[in-house]
Amino acid sequence: MNAVASPCIDVCRMNPATGFCDGCFRTIDEIAQWSALDDAAKQAVLHRSQSRRKGARVVVIGERFSATLSLPPDSIKSFATLVNDQNPLHHDDTYAAASRFGSLIASGTQPTAHMMAMLATHFSQYAQPLGLEFGVKLTRAVKAHDVLTMTWHVTDAKWKPGLKGDLVTLEGEACNQHGETVMKTTATIVVMPKERRE
């Protein structure tokens, strides 16, 4: 007996507009491959079909993904130089050591840029993402030698025909190696299916 039951509800009609079954919200390939999938793959199909039922076509609502970012002093200095942030807290070791922070700190643009880039990197593996709006709240200084764990969570997604993609909202945060939150973020992006090249 299979541990993961088929979501088929005997409404087996492929919708030409969406490419999904009107009953179970699976693609024809997902339906055909179902019996050969292991339980983990079946659960992944179920998560995708539940998102499609809520209006998404490309992304999975509830999905989470993470990355880490190490910040040695040279990285802080070079990034601040690259974005023309001349605050000595990002460049001058002596000045920064005498400050309230006790060491170099990263320009706020550095973890912000990495958080934004995570979205492009993650979704471009299977789709074409495009950023629309970002919100950032810096809650704690990021010091030299910190290692950040950055996480995004897809909170909602709806297919928008005018955009030819899912309009996706996300919430994110970055925490340092001590578990302290250094940044909270929000984003609205559009994630479009990759164009097929003939």
* pLDDT at position 11 over 80: yes
**Average pLDDT over every residue of 36-49:** 89
Q: 165 near 192, Cβ under 8 Å? A: yes
Please compute, for residue 107, the number of CA atoms within 13 A of its CA located in the half-sphere on the CB side: 22
The 10s digit of each residue's pLDDT in 174-189 is: 999 999 999 999 999 9
Q: Is the pLDDT of residue 147 over 70?
A: yes
With a pLDDT cut of 70, the percent of the chain lying above it is 97
**Using CA atoms, how far apart are residues 20 and 10, in angstroms rounded to an integer?**
14
* Strands, E assignment, 78-180: 127-138, 146-160, 165-175
pLDDT at position 2 is 54
Given a cut of 50, whether residue 1 has pLDDT beyond it is no
The answer to which of 16-25, 98-107, 112-121 has the lowest mean pLDDT is 16-25
CB 5 within 8 A of CB 19: no
Residue 7 CA to residue 4 CA, distance in Å, equals 9
Mean pLDDT of the chain: 93
Tell me the pTM.
0.86
Domains of the chain: 14-54 (no CATH), 63-72+107-193 (3.10.129.10)
Residues 198, 194: Cα–Cα separation, whole Å:
12
